[in-house]
Amino acid sequence: MSIRRSKLSTLAFASSAIALSLAASTGFAQTAGSTDKAPDAKNVTPAPRTGNPMKDALLRMQKPLTVELNDSKLEDVFGYIARETGADLEVMWKNDIDDGLDKEQTITVAAKNMPAIDFLEKIFERFEGGTKKHSWQLADNGAVQIGSKSRLNKFKRIEIYDINDLLFVLPLYDNAPQIDLNSVLQSSKGGSAQSPFKERANQTRKEQEVKSKDDRAKDLQELLTSTIENEEWLDGGGENTIRYYQGSFIVNAADYMHRALNGYKWWPSFKTSGGTSGVKRYVSLTPDTSIAKADVPFRTVSVNEPR
């Protein structure tokens, strides 16, 4: 089991998995018509090689697809995506031991110049009826694992997130003395010199009511577990755990959970109009991935610095 260390300084609250879009210079169109089988892939784009198998897989899954599928079997649909993108899809099918996806289940879905990863999310929405019980994640070897979250939870890794910047509290100075202008004027006219500063009437300095660092960490943990995949954490009946220890969250969870928490560190960031770096989650990429621009259709909360 691998252990990784990250800095959790930018949070994007999302209950479902990452959605990525590609601004490609050329598009590919296929139509399945009314057949019950997905079309064969053509003109497959050469697989990218960056040295990071997970990044390579995500780049492949950004190929834009234009297709119409009517009553197509899930096995054929996922096979079509794998052939078209060149990605290694590991679909967790139903068997005698584990629950999973049904190969024979049919689905009607269409896409127009849609990144394959978005198309995958759309497929989930079609056959699960909004229950959000299925997702995808990346394995260390670059495979795209697809299945129910209960099956994906079997593939966990430990990651340590530094949250000290999220727990920092700015001091509040609200006890400044009041300036007595009358005393200043009397002193200028030859009167007795008095200090121009005086305490306000009935003013008493109150100590700031600030929660302890541990309490602030507990509040942050409750916020995360209640907004991000709340049913998949241990306290919500799931199998993934998050614990606070000395300024860090120690998270033992599946990849799709880590992605919802902190995105992928190796994914390109974008620059805002003011020159500030943004989150590394939802971006559009050119085919050579050398230029990134913002494409953020959701709310984000940026804290101090980007990932």
Q: Convert the pLDDT of each residue in 205-239 to its tens digit.
A: 455 577 899 999 999 999 999 999 999 999 889 99
* Residue 289 is assigned to a structural domain of this protein: yes
Look at residue 103 in the predicted model and tell me its pLDDT. 92
Look at residue 300 in the predicted model and tell me its pLDDT. 38
* Residue 145 is assigned to a structural domain of this protein: yes
What residues have CB less than 8 Å from 48, skipping those under 6 apart? 56, 59, 60, 289
* Residue 226 is assigned to a structural domain of this protein: yes
For residue 230, give both structure tokens.
Answer: 């709340």
Report residues of the chain scoring pLDDT below 50.
10-36, 202-205, 270-307
* Residue 283 is assigned to a structural domain of this protein: yes
Question: What residue type is 214 in one-letter code?
Answer: D
Look at residue 140 in the predicted model and tell me its pLDDT. 93
3 state SS of 234 = helix
Domain of residue 100: give its range. 3-163+213-302
Q: How many CB atoms lie within 10 A of CB 305?
A: 11
Contact 59, 87 (CB under 8 A): no
pTM passes above 0.85: no
Look at residue 154 in the predicted model and tell me its pLDDT. 94
* Residue 47 is assigned to a structural domain of this protein: yes
Look at residue 181 in the predicted model and tell me its pLDDT. 72
Half-sphere exposure of 267 (CA within 13 A, CB side): 26
Look at residue 37 in the predicted model and tell me its pLDDT. 60
* Residue 179 is assigned to a structural domain of this protein: no
Q: What DSSP state is assigned to residue 231? A: G
For residue 73, give both structure tokens.
Answer: 């079997």
Distance CA 262, CA 290 (A): 22
Per-residue pLDDT tens digits for 169-189: 887 776 676 777 776 666 666
Look at residue 193 in the predicted model and tell me its pLDDT. 59
Q: Where are the alpha helices (DSSP H) in the chain?
A: 53-60, 74-85, 116-128, 149-152, 164-167, 181-188, 213-227, 255-262
Q: How many domains does the chain have?
A: 1
